[in-house]
Structure 1
Amino acid sequence: MSGPTLDGSTLDLASLQGRIVVVNVWGSWCAPCRREIPDLQRGHEAYQDKGVSFVGIDTRDDAAQAKSFIASSRVTYPNLVDDGSGSLVAKLVGIVPLQAVPATVIVDRTGKVAWKASKPIDYATLADGLDAVLAETPGN
């Protein structure tokens, strides 16, 4: 999965190979997404030194509103932009329902989906999922 980010760069998730990756599908128009984003940012800050990367996928959104939301929420992890066609979110078919926003997936170091939620999450839920994945990872 690769594409443009809200900050204008390009991100290819293949560059994160060997890391645990948290992927969160969101939209600035989505009230539950707006509520969970501080917990995701907190998770990013707490787990980045443990080999965990966070990536957002902004979907069905207005670019200016999405950028403003990310800036005001002080989100520091990269956010891919689904171009409106649903092409990025479609890559999650069979993992989470396509219309599930928010949705969060944790991919282990081998590239397998290790945990998922098709609903809003809080920091405790995210930490429980990450701790379980980290505990199953050799070398931790």
Structure 2
Amino acid sequence: MGTINLGPFAISLWLILLTIAMFSSLAVGRLTARSWKVDIEPILWTLLIAAVIGARIVFVARYFDGYKAAPWSIMDIRDGGFSKSAGMMLLIALGAWFAWRRKEARKPLVLAVGTGIVVWYLGMTALIGRDTGQVKLPQVELVHLDGGTFQLQSLAGKPMVVNLWASWCPPCRHEMPVLRDGQAQYRDIVFVFVNQGEAADVVQQYLKAAQLSLDNVLLDSKLQVGRQTASMALPTTLFFNEQGILVERRVGELSAATLAQRIESLRKPGRP
């Protein structure tokens, strides 16, 4: 999923879509409540909160190994670890239960929840289509940290994880150990670390101070990769298949669990 950039800030399109779907549902709920003279707004908020919590719980349960080293990170939802399908199923099931228990609220509740689901589904379809098959591995010449120019395309042929980062970016620094461990763990995946806009000595000093040993550290002084993939927010991690086509995009910090989820998705046969 991409972002909308507002100056130095980047807002996830996924979050914007969730907000639009939520307020669409609330708006329909308020309008229909006037006709049926029943207040369903508390029910709608209950459904939303339950769906978000349920989506997080299911995700954590599925990728619990990624949280074992730091169990408290389960509470840090900034890693984007949610099971959207589980959240949607819980919302529908709980909504059906409320509709069964509250006959007077049944019609406005069905209309409000249905509106939110339709907005969410159409938005997700548009966002997935926006990235899938549209963005390819940039054909750019970068500079290797060890010296000399380097063609990013020369690493094509295997699934690839391209991390766009900078040493001044706190979330970038925080997720680096996760990506380092991922590079060592997922040997069938090529990990590439493309620094955005910093000099070689700055990058080398940071890696040395942080005691990070990474392969494929490249310098992109002109921000070519970020511009060509519409990924100007940092950190951004791009997931390309064997054909060099973008299949996943994560804007913001990755955890071990959310990295595992995306690697699992990247390995699926038949992905565009």
Shorter-chain TM-score: what band?
Answer: 0.7 to 0.9
Match for 2:266: what amino acid? V
Q: Which residue of structure 2 lines up, in the alignment, with residue 27 of structure 1?
A: 166
% of aligned pairs identical?
27
SS in 2 for 1:135: coil
Q: Which residue of structure 1 lines up, in the alignment, with residue 229 of structure 2?
A: 92
User: Deviation digits for residues 47-87 of structure 1, max 9, x if unmatched?
Assistant: 12x2x10111111324322112223332322121121x323
Runs (5+) with no aligned partner, structure 1: none
Q: Which has the larger share of strand?
A: 1
TM-score, normalisation: structure 2: 0.45
In the alignment, the residues of structure 1 paired with residue 185 and residue 270 of structure 2 have an alpha-carbon distance, to the nearest angstrom, of 18
Matched, 1:104 2:237: yes
- Correspondence list, 1:1-140, <5 A: 1-48=140-187, 50=188, 52-71=189-208, 72-83=210-221, 85-93=222-230, 96=231, 98=232, 100-136=233-269
SS in 1 for 2:145: coil
In the alignment, the residues of structure 1 paired with residue 269 and residue 166 of structure 2 have an alpha-carbon distance, to the nearest angstrom, of 31
Superposition misfits of 4+ residues, deviation over 4 angstroms: none
SS in 2 for 1:40: helix
**RMSD of aligned Cα (Å):** 1.8
Aligned residues of 1:37 and 1:73 also touching (Cα < 8 A): no
SS in 1 for 2:262: helix
Aligned residues of 1:29 and 1:61 also touching (Cα < 8 A): no
Q: Which has the larger share of helix?
A: 2
Higher relative contact order (CA 8 A, sep 6+): 1
In the alignment, the residues of structure 2 paired with residue 38 and residue 124 of structure 1 have an alpha-carbon distance, to the nearest angstrom, of 13
- Residues 1:92 and 1:73: Cα distance change in structure 2 (over 3 Å): farther
In the alignment, the residues of structure 1 paired with residue 155 and residue 260 of structure 2 have an alpha-carbon distance, to the nearest angstrom, of 20
